[in-house]
Structure formats: C-alpha cells, structure tokens
Amino acid sequence: MGMTITEKILAYHSGKEYVEPGEIVEVKIDLALANDITAPLSIEEFEKTGAKRVFDPQKIVFVLDHFTPSKDVQSAENCKRIKDFAKRMGIKHVYDGGVCGIEHALLPELGLVMPGDVVIGADSHTCTYGALGAFATGVGSSDLTFGMATGYLWFKVPESIKFLCYGKWNKWVSGKDLILHIIGMIGVDGALYSAMEFTGEAIYDLSIDSRFTVANMSVEAGAKNGIFPVDEVTLHYVKDKTVRGFKIFGSDPDAKYREVIEIDVGKIGLKVACPHLPSNVKDVEELRGVTLDQVVIGSCTNGRIEDLKIAAEIMKGKKVAEGLRCIIIPATPKIYLEALKRGYIQIFLEAGCVISPPTCGPCLGGHMGVLAKNEKALATTNRNFIGRMGHPESEVYLSGPAVASASAIMGRIAHPEEVL
Amino acid sequence: MKFRGRAFKFGDNIDTDVIIPARYLTHTDPKVLASHCMEPLDSEFSKKVRPGDIIVAGSNFGCGSSREHAAIAILGLGIPLVIAKSFARIFYRNAFNKGLILLESDIYEHVKDGVEIEVDVREGLIKAGEKEFRAKPIPHFMIELVESGGLLNYLKKKLELGG
C-alpha cells in the first residue's frame, strides 16, 4: 500500500518504513518555533522541569512578532525574558526589532524551513510551511517545551484529504479565494485531525506566496497540516536560501485518502468570509452594501510581496475612502524593502494608508488597529471570530488583497473592477 | 476519576479567542487568565462559575489559536472537565497536557444549562438527572498523562531518569 506525502515524512522522521493513519509515532523535529505570546509559557514550564539545555540550540527559533514593537510593559517584559532565556541556552535564532518579521513569512524567507522537514510551532499557523512540502503543525506551549527539551514529539498519523484542483484561474483570484472556497465548502471542522493535501494541475500554476496562504488557513478547517507537492516553483524558492540538504517526499499513486475532493478553480470567484467564522463564505458581489471602518492588508496569511503588488496595482493614483483606516503591514523587513524599491509604499502613502512595521498586531486585536464597538473591518487575515480584532461587538470580514484594496478605496466591500 | 458539577452550556465552534481574548495573553497567571475566561460571550461567566462546574458544548470546541492560555484559563476557574461533541486538535492536546479532561459526547442538545452532571471518566459514563450518556473512550495514555500530572511532570520524571 502506498503512502501520502504526510505519511512518508512522519515515517522517515520516526525511523519507520511504513506508517498508517491512526498510528502513534514519536517524530524527530527539525525545527521548533515559539513567539512572544507562547514562548513565555514554554520557558516557564521548561524551567520547572529542571531541564538544563535545549536539544539543539540551532533548531529552536523565537520570533517576537505578536505584540511588538512592545505595546505595553508586560509584553516588553515577556520579550526580555525570552531573550535572556535564548542567551542562556545559546539559541541564536531570535528575531526582534529590525530583523523581526511575521514568523510564518520570515522563517521560509530565511531558509529555516526546507521541503521534507518536520516543524512544530507554538502558533496555530505553523501549518503555513506545508507550502514547501514540509510537515508543519501548531502545538501548545507544553508540547513545545517537550520538543525543545527532547527533540521529538508524539503524533497520531492523520488521515489525508486530497484537494485535486484543475482548470484556469480567474483574474484577481488568488490562493486566499481558493482556501476560503474550500473552508466554506467543508466547514471549520471539515478537516478536523486530518492532513489537507493540495494537488492537481491548477496547483502547479499557483505562486509560492499563494501556496503559503492556502497552507496557512488549513488550520481554519481544523486540519493538523496542509501540504503541497514539491515542484519547480518550490525548488526555485528554496534554492538560494538553503545551506543544508533536504529530502523530497511525494505521495504514491496508490496512497490512501479519506476523501478526494475535485475543484474546478475556473469556477471560483473572489470570496469573502463574513462574521464570525472563516466558513461563512460568500461571493464578493453579494456583499457590496457592507460599509467599513477599517481595512487591514497584511498578516502571516497575506502580507507577502505578491499581496502588496496586487494592492498597489489597485490603489495606484487613488485615495482611501474618507473616514476609513487602511493599514498595510509588510510581513517582513525584506518584503517591506522590496515594496519600497518597487514604489508600492509610495502608492500606499499617497492613497492615505497607514504603513505598519511587520507585526501580527491587529489580526488578533493586539495593537496597530484595534476595533471599537460596532466597527467593521475587512482584513486579509485568517480569523473573524467574535472580538478577534477588538471589541466583542465589532465585526471582521476576511478576503484576499484584491478585494481588500478595492474596498479601502470604496469605503465598502467592493470588487476590484469597480475601482479600475 | 469521578466528577459532579453544574453544566454551563456553550454552542458550536467555541474558539480560543472567546475562551481567552488575545489582549490578556501577556499574562501567564492562571488567576488573571481565569478572570477573563469566556468574557466576549458572557462577561459574568468567571463570577457565576464555581470550582467543579463543567462546560458542555457542541462541536469543534477550542478551535483557533494554539494558545495554551485557553486550557489554563478554564482550569484556573476550577473547571476540571469539558464535554463537547468534538474538540479542535491543538486544544485537545493542550488540555490533556495541562490536566484538563475532555470528553467527547453529544449531550449538548439533551441537557439544560445549570443542571447537575455526574461523570465517571474511566467508565465514560455521564449522568444528568434520569438521563445517561456514553462518552467516546479516552486513549489510555491520555488518562495516564493526566494522572501523572500532565506532560511536563512526565518530562520531569524522564529527565530525572536521565532519559
């Protein structure tokens, strides 16, 4: 019996020839990640266990991206504590200040994640790295502590669901629209405990940035991981970033899937997830009456250069609607600099946008754009739960960068063709 | 492991942002986190609930972020157990790692808010008045994890043994 890419990576990292769904395996970890919210708990626990050292200081990464630049005294204390711990343990991969970016955009950019890796992160969107053909999954602080101390963690091998995508992509439609379409179809627990494997001819046409977006939101369907095949697009992306070797895994033709879902991407238009679940998905055309107070373009989901390119194309020479705040957050310093070189930042400033340093900030109602009671936002982020971006009676709509930038101009949810 | 407490009902897809909003995540103290538990849905929840009470919910309880603060906030209120139709996977691991027991059972539609529930975890038996329900068995090693004081006590023992 053949294996899926997820099963093969888990088998290889647990020293087995063969694994099957439901089996419990102890898996070797290539990289363990935490941020300024989850690392303090992990460190507190690590110290309580009496552990003296981490399993490998080179394989642990702390990215201080959520409430930074520190929004208050407590968050500053947390960052300081993380940096003190890293120094004691000899952990060099600590990203703060001018080298800090949003973790799931930053790590691939730095070449810290490679195809075939097993990555655990105390952040649910760790699944983003599946775009590179890695097994990557979010864990809590206790599991991370265990992984940091021992270098391995137990997992139940997940069943896989195959999303076989074919057809030609419509104009403006990106990875965000595909994943919102899928979550709308299967629901927020449609892939609970499972691996979501994205494949088919239309997937090979998808850019790496769009693949990151799709894998990123697989957790929003309840998945353990989202994963893509490794192809020329992947290899082109990693080739000048890696200083170490990697192993490429691929699904066997006779691999077993819980379900195969075929999707004609030519039938997917621009999508918006309405409050208060990422599965509450509608076509943008149905939502033109919804007025907005804030638009956010950024996050680990959609803060990459392709996203900013789309936004700049739509906003060029135009003004943000009066009374609306449009906040643009390049996900990493490198993306910020590239956007600056290409003239996107000037376009955004002239349009009246606020440019934020790389941070998760408003996505989780932390800072840099928190909503007041009854305010409505459209964001390229990943969650629209009750109170996610601020007041419990505020509302968040989710979309890709094309709809978000057109909506910022119109002051209401809009299709890009309305402003061009 | 047997429990008895009042049921506090919540619906489907109760996410970690409502269990503990991100603005409180600068804290790690269970008491502070507990005082804001479920705040966006019911700002009085932390005052109404008593140690030993039980949360009863629909499907996909604990979806969303990986914040272990969610399990800590619930435990901080003295709630030992959540019964739901299903649980999100990161929350599921976090809860058992911290010693919060989760039982999968479809009792949400069948019990009223505030009724007293009796639970025998090992037997997988839930009683609410005259009604009896079965819970999906918890994997044996998850029970062991809770009984040994959570994942980190397990790690501590392992390190002491030089493992």
In this prediction, residue B154 carries a pLDDT of: 85
Interface of B with A (CB under 8 A): 13, 15, 17-18, 21-23, 25-28, 39-41, 59-60, 63-69, 71-72, 86, 88-90, 93-94, 97-98, 141, 150-152, 155-156, 158-160
In this prediction, residue B163 carries a pLDDT of: 52
CATH class of B2-160: alpha beta
CB contact under 8 A, A386 and B17: yes
- Residue B69's closest CA among B94, B103, B96? B94
- Mean pLDDT over each residue of chain B, to the nearest integer: 94
Residue A172 CA to residue B143 CA, distance in Å, equals 50
For residue B152, give the nearest of A49, A122, A124 by CB distance: A49
| Residue A94 DSSP SS3 | strand
Residue B130 CA to residue A257 CA, distance in Å, equals 42
Q: How confident is the model at residue B51 (pLDDT cuts 50, 70, 90)?
A: very high
In this prediction, residue B100 carries a pLDDT of: 95
CB contact under 8 A, B86 and A189: yes
Residue B38 CA to residue A67 CA, distance in Å, equals 22
Residues 6+ apart with CB under 8 A from A248: A115, A116, A133, A230
What is the maximum span of chain A, computed from C-alpha positions, in angstroms? 61
Average pLDDT over residues B85-91: 97
CB contact under 8 A, A72 and B26: yes
Domain ranges in chain B? 2-160
Residue A279 CA to residue A282 CA, distance in Å, equals 9
Average pLDDT over residues B40-64: 97
Q: Which residue of B has its CA nearest to A45?
A: B152
For A15, other C-beta atoms within 10 Å of its C-beta total 10
In this prediction, residue A181 carries a pLDDT of: 98
Say which CATH topology domain A271-418 has: Aconitase; domain 3 (3.30.499)
Domain with CATH 3.30.499.10 in chain A: 5-264, 271-418
Q: What is the DSSP letter of A95?
A: E
Contact A158, A253 (CB under 8 A): no
For residue A41, give the nearest of B18, B28, B158 by CB distance: B28
CATH class of A5-264: alpha beta
Contact A93, A189 (CB under 8 A): no
Residue A349 CA to residue B47 CA, distance in Å, equals 47
Contact A417, A284 (CB under 8 A): no
What residue spans of chain B are helical by DSSP H?
A: 16-19, 30-34, 45-48, 69-76, 89-98, 140-147, 151-160
For A406, other C-beta atoms within 10 Å of its C-beta total 29
For residue B54, pLDDT over 80 is answered with: yes
Q: Which residue of A has its CA nearest to B96?
A: A142
In this prediction, residue B149 carries a pLDDT of: 83
What share of chain B in percent tops pLDDT 90?
Answer: 82
- Report chain B residues whose CB lies below 8 A from the CB of A146: 151-152, 155
For residue B162, pLDDT over 80 is answered with: no
What residues does A327 pair with on adjacent strands?
A: A296, A354
Regarding pTM above 0.95, the answer is yes
In this prediction, residue A287 carries a pLDDT of: 98
Q: Which residue of B has its CA nearest to A137?
A: B90
ipTM: 0.95
> Ramachandran region of residue B41, left (φ > 0), alpha (ψ -120 to 50) or beta?
alpha
CB contact under 8 A, A74 and B160: no
Q: Which residues of chain A have pLDDT under 50?
A: none
- Mean pLDDT over each residue of chain A, to the nearest integer: 97
- Report chain A residues whose CB lies below 8 A from the CB of B86: 189, 192
| Burial zone of A69 (CB within 10 Å; 0-12 exposed, 13-18 middle, 19+ buried) | middle
| Burial zone of A309 (CB within 10 Å; 0-12 exposed, 13-18 middle, 19+ buried) | middle
Contact A211, A174 (CB under 8 A): no
Task: Return the H-helix or E-strand segment holding B7.
Answer: strand B2-9
Residue of B25, B92, B160 best to disrupt the A interface, most CBs of A under 10 A: B25
In this prediction, residue B150 carries a pLDDT of: 86
Residue B99 CA to residue B143 CA, distance in Å, equals 9
Return the axis-axis angle of helices A333-341 and A344-351, rounded to nearest 10°: 80
Q: What share of chain A is helix, strand, coil (3-state, %, to 5)?
A: 40, 20, 40
Average pLDDT over residues B129-146: 89
In this prediction, residue A243 carries a pLDDT of: 79
Q: Which residue of B has its CA nearest to A220?
A: B64
Q: How confident is the model at residue B1 (pLDDT cuts 50, 70, 90)?
A: confident
- Report chain A residues whose CB lies below 8 A from the CB of B42: none
Residue of B44, B68, B97, B141 best to disrupt the A interface, most CBs of A under 10 A: B68
